[in-house]
Amino acid sequence: MSRAAGQTHLALGNAPGFNGYAWAEFHYECTTMRIALHRNSNKTMSSAVKESKRVTTHTLQEMKQKEVPIAMITAYDFSMARLMDGAGVDVILVGDSASNVMAGHETTLPITLDQMIYHAGSVVRGCARALVVVDLPFGTYQGNSKGALNSAIRIMKESGAHAVKLEGGREVLDSVGRILTAGIPVMGHLGLTPQSIYKFGTYVVRAREEAEAERLKRDAKLLEEAGCFALVLEKIPAKLATEVAKCISIPVIGIGAGGGVDGQVLVMHDLLGITKEFNPRFLRRYADLHGVITSAVEHYVKDVRSSDFPRPDEQY
């Protein structure tokens, strides 16, 4: 998107009555030409995906109403985002899980706002159809709604993303409200919230006890009432997740939350079998890229060592 278009986004975002849905719809109009150019370079995409319009927050709402499950996946770079987008994914999350799978940290806490913006910009440039949502990293929104707004504006202006996501319930309502005043769509996240891992002390299933379950249900309603366009529920009992999805009008996307929600999300590296050490019950691996990539590189090393690569027909 051009710099002028980005300035228009900000101006409209501050206009009275310009809410998250309007922001997303306007963003679609601004990216129509980029979508067409991208499609021309992605001939392997199915005709159904090629003819699809940009997914917006309104699209997700319609999918919930029509009971069409939403497919969401993480991505962190241009090349993988282009593949995910071409495969028909509805939402690409630029997750703070980049801290784990891209940078090798034990938790999501170390990743910075600048790093998230870098990953988000790369993903946006690879997407023609999917809605791109970016995690607000730890320390950029908690307890400071003005800081939350500034962080969200930086993500939208500098990366071209379409929405932000943050973790927490009633404790982050001020931040949610402040971000929404700028017309920036917000996705919520309840249940297991990885940025609070040191508070929980473990990655076990959350909200098994009645008191925590009731708090989660109330927080889901509060986030809906605050204006969030969707909600992620992570690692909670399937029955509870189904209840939440039925009692709120916005789409509920689960990860380890059963099949009674409105959509599913997985981390790309886990789904594709790039990572091997992470094996929760909810994870289904659709490929073994760890094995494929390791074998391919071993073959390359062997060919180099034996001087089989390059052959005469691979030289100028």
Q: Would you name the residues annotated as active-site residues?
A: 234
DSSP states along 113-153? HHHHHHHHHHHHHT-SSSEEEEEPPTTSSTT-HHHHHHHHH
- Rounded to an integer, what distance in angstroms lies between the CA atom of residue 301 and that of residue 308? 10
The strand pairing partners of 84, in sequence order, are none
Q: What is the DSSP letter of 306?
A: T
Q: Computed from CA positions of residues 76, 79, 82, 83, in that sequence, does the dihedral angle turn out positive or negative?
A: negative
- Rounded to an integer, what distance in angstroms lies between the CA atom of residue 136 and that of residue 232? 14
3-state secondary structure of 233: strand
Q: Which two tokens stand for residue 213?
A: 């379950």
Single-letter code of the amino acid located at 232: V
Q: Extract the runs of DSSP E, i.e. beta strands, from the chain.
A: 70-74, 91-94, 131-135, 163-165, 186-191, 230-234, 252-255, 263-266
CB burial of 14-31 (b: ≥16 within 10 Å; e: otherwise) equals: eeeebbbbbbbebbbebb
- Rounded to an integer, what distance in angstroms lies between the CA atom of residue 255 and that of residue 93? 13
